[in-house]
Amino acid sequence: MRLNEALPLLVLATSFVPGLVIFMLPEERGALRTTLNLAGALAKLALIGYMLWGVARGTEFAFRHSVFPGVELVLHADSLSLLFVTLSAALWLLTTLYAIGYLEDAPNRSRFFGFFSLCVTATVGVAMAGNLFTFFFFYELLTLSTYPLVVHRGTEASVRAGTWYLGYTLTGGALLLTGIVWLYGLLGQVEFVSGGSASLLGPEYEPQLKIAFALLIAGVGVKAALVPLHGWLPRAMVAPAPVSALLHAVAVVKAGAFGVMRIVYEVYGIEFAEELGLLTPLATVAAVTIIWGSLRALTQDDLKRRLAFSTVSQVSYIVLGVAMPGPIATVGGLVHLVHQGVMKITLFFCAGNYAETLGVRRVSELNGIGRSMPLTTLAFTLGALGMIGVPLTAGYVSKSYLSAGAHAAQMDWASWILTASGLLNAAYFLPPVLRAWLGRRSEPWPGGHLHVHARAETNWLLLAPTLVGGAATVLLALLAQQEWSPLSWAKLIAAREYLRQEP
């Protein structure tokens, strides 16, 4: 097997193999468990860096294996897959560091980090899938590997949340499988190719193609938390903070949004999807989800639930970018996949720091926390401002492209949706920020009797990833025009893989 064929497998192996070993480690082997986690994460980043360099220069990295006649397992590292793979690998490293500090002295750490590694393996498999069969295989593996993380604490609330999670995601998987089987019956093996393969069928197949499209989008829409398929996500917030970060920024919801991209761009093709009239309904669902998620976030006092409904809204920015034809909107949706992940993981790290250090879990309890935990609160502030779309933050960059893309596509109503959402984002993010810095506090913190004016920054394993995320929220905007930035890579994808023109 040549190196170019083996590299996709090696990228999977850097999390899969450590995960299997970690399952067998006794709890007291914490040093070895940490070494395996970090070594796997760093090796994965190194291999991905090599593939980024190669793909930018036209090198192909692909692995194929025949499962049975007419069905192949295909892993293909193209520019789109590497955008998602790089995001997942980088945030996996940060989340691993955070989880090591968060779960210190907690029970069942080997089980947690074993499934944690399998989850990342499944996410990378979803990203590098070269056809619908491979995508479905890893998509369902992602469901099965994240369920034990959701129920990790073993409480009644976590088990109930896990049941909801499985109910939603397995139903979504069934819908996705139905759509895949339907398309395979029409087309044979459905590869992910520029311009899509569904357009090869004649006009007499259009009704069937529309139904299959609806099934596929509903299937991935569960994980993407599209309304009304989003109910599992807020309930899953009973999971530990590293799991919440994983669900929202690294794996599950991103896999759903990424699936929408693959279906629209590489199964149907943007032009054929528009010709079939499929994009306007998809954009409408995304717009409803954006506003609905924002409105629900306004009413949440629990900080993690507020962030969860924010994710419902923010991930649909990506879907809206996909549903608006034109290279500018495409760039906006692609780069928001990265920017939202960085900002949201920062916010969940902050929420975990507040809860673990001072027992603060509600927005109404944040008064004055900025004076006790200034570094964590600075990172929270940067993440919140990014989500709003304030200039000099990553959110401003992606939302500017989305707004410009709406005008270019002559979908001015979508621009109004983005404006309304920005105002709603400010309405639910600014109050906790203002409470944290300016709120007066006289009562003890919920988690203990620490004096309200005492410094209480958390340990460095929790703080360091949080500060990296906060800094990245700004640096991704300041360095957006650099050749190696996510924005430049999104432009490469729009030009090379889909629309064949410069944004």
pTM, to two decimals: 0.91
**pLDDT at res. 497:** 55
Question: Has residue 351 been placed in a domain?
Answer: yes
Q: What angle do CA 462, 467, 468 make, to 5 degrees?
A: 105
Q: What are phi and psi of 301, to 5 degrees?
A: -90, -35
Residue with tokens 């009239």: 277
The domain containing residue 484 runs over which residues? 309-503
Q: What is the chain's Cα-based Rg?
A: 22
Contact 129, 80 (CB under 8 A): no
Question: What pLDDT is recorded for position 502?
Answer: 36
3-state secondary structure (DSSP) of residue 67? strand
Q: Considering the domain boundaries, does residue 38 fall inside one?
A: no
* Dist. CA 377–CA 104, nearest whole Å: 23
Cα 494 to Cα 254, 418, 423, 499, distances in angstroms: 19, 21, 29, 6
Residue keyed to tokens 């988690």 = 447
Asked whether the bond before 228 is cis by omega within 30 degrees of 0, the reply is yes
Q: 457 is written with which tokens?
A: 């920054």
Query: What confidence score (pLDDT) does residue 454 get?
Result: 60
Report yes or no: 103 and 240 within 8 Å, Cβ to Cβ: yes
- So what's the pLDDT on residue 479? 94
Helix (H, G, I), strand (E, B) or coil at 191: strand
The values of phi and psi at residue 78, to 5°, are -105, -175
Burial of 66 (0-12, 13-18, 19+ CB in 10 A): exposed
Q: Which residues of the chain have pLDDT under 50?
A: 499-503
Identify whether 178 is part of a domain.
no
- Residue bearing tokens 């590098």: 128
**pLDDT value for 501:** 41
The verdict on residue 213 lying in a domain is: no
Flag whether 243 is in a domain. no
Residue 231, pLDDT score: 83
Note the maximum CA span of the chain: 73
pLDDT of residue 341: 92
Name the domain count of the chain.
1
Flag whether 85 is in a domain.
Answer: no
Cα angle 347-348-352, degrees, rounded to a multiple of 5: 120
**What values do phi and psi take at 452, rounded to 5?**
-65, -20
Token look-up 């083996």 returns: 6
Say if CB 357 and CB 366 are below 8 A apart. Answer: no
| Residue at 321 is within a domain | yes
* 412 within domain boundaries: yes
Residues 270 and 282 sit within 8 Å (Cβ to Cβ): no
Q: If DSSP codes are grouped into helix, strand and coil, which group holds residue 61?
A: strand
